[in-house]
């Protein structure tokens, strides 16, 4: 039996579609593929995003941006020295995009004008740092993406 052009094209389309469907079904059923959202309560976090935008703009307008400095002991998060450190309250969140089990939060309790994030809590690689803090009733936010390298 001879196969003409029309039959060959139809068979090629059926073969290609079957090939694609096989991989789609295989990947969606595979337990090794991680289909988690970035955060557990994604939609709840999305509703509070406007507060983050306002706090970030507030920090920019009031010119109270923080700075990061890498040291042998870890990362120093330096606050502006014109602020009274007893009035600063908040949290520091470190997010590891490649592994959510490495994420952690630190409360802001300052005795100096900086907070040291210890070297033993950080692994080499990409980290997203988010500092949400309040000073005299005003909310501020500092966000930074860094690539950390431990000093040897």
- Tell me the pLDDT tens digit for each residue of 31-88: 666 656 566 777 777 777 888 888 888 888 888 878 888 888 888 888 888 888 888 8
Residue partners of 62: CB distance under 8 A and separation at least 6 = 138, 140
Is residue 19 within 8 A of residue 11, CB to CB? The reply is: no
Number of domains in the chain: 1
Q: What is the pLDDT of residue 36?
A: 61
Cα(93)–Cα(42) distance, rounded to whole angstroms?
16
Tell me whether residue 118 is in a domain.
yes
Tell me whether residue 108 is in a domain.
yes
Domain of 79, in residue numbers: 42-148
Is residue 130 within 8 A of residue 45, CB to CB? The reply is: no
Using left for φ > 0, alpha for ψ between -120 and 50, and beta otherwise, residue 74 falls in left
Q: What is the pTM of this model?
A: 0.66
Q: What is the pLDDT of residue 39?
A: 65
Q: What is the pLDDT of residues 5-39, one digit of tens each?
A: 999 999 999 999 999 999 988 888 876 666 565 66
- Which two structure tokens, joined as six digits, stand for 67? 């700075």
Tell me whether residue 67 is in a domain.
yes
Buried/exposed 91-112: b ≥16 CB within 10 Å, e otherwise: ebebbbeeeeeeeeebebebee
Q: What is the pLDDT of residue 22?
A: 95
Is residue 92 within 8 A of residue 130, CB to CB? The reply is: yes
Tell me whether residue 2 is in a domain.
no
CATH number of the structural domain spanning residue 120:
2.60.40.10
């Amino acid at each position: 039996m001879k196969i003409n052009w029309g039959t060959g094209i139809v068979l090629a389309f059926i073969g290609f579609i079957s090939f694609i469907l096989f991989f789609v079904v295989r990947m969606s059923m595979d337990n090794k593929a991680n289909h988690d959202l970035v955060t557990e309560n994604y939609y709840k976090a999305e509703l509070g995003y406007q507060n983050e935008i306002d706090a970030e703009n507030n920090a920019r307008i009031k010119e109270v941006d923080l700075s990061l400095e890498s040291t042998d002991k870890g990362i120093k998060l330096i606050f502006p020295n014109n602020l009274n450190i007893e009035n600063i309250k908040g949290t520091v969140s470190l997010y590891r995009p490649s592994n959510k089990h490495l994420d952690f939060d630190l409360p802001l309790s300052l005795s100096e004008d900086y907070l040291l994030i210890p070297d033993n809590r950080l692994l080499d690689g990409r980290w997203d740092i988010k500092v949400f803090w309040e000073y005299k009733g005003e909310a501020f936010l500092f966000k930074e993406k860094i690539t950390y390298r431990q000093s040897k």
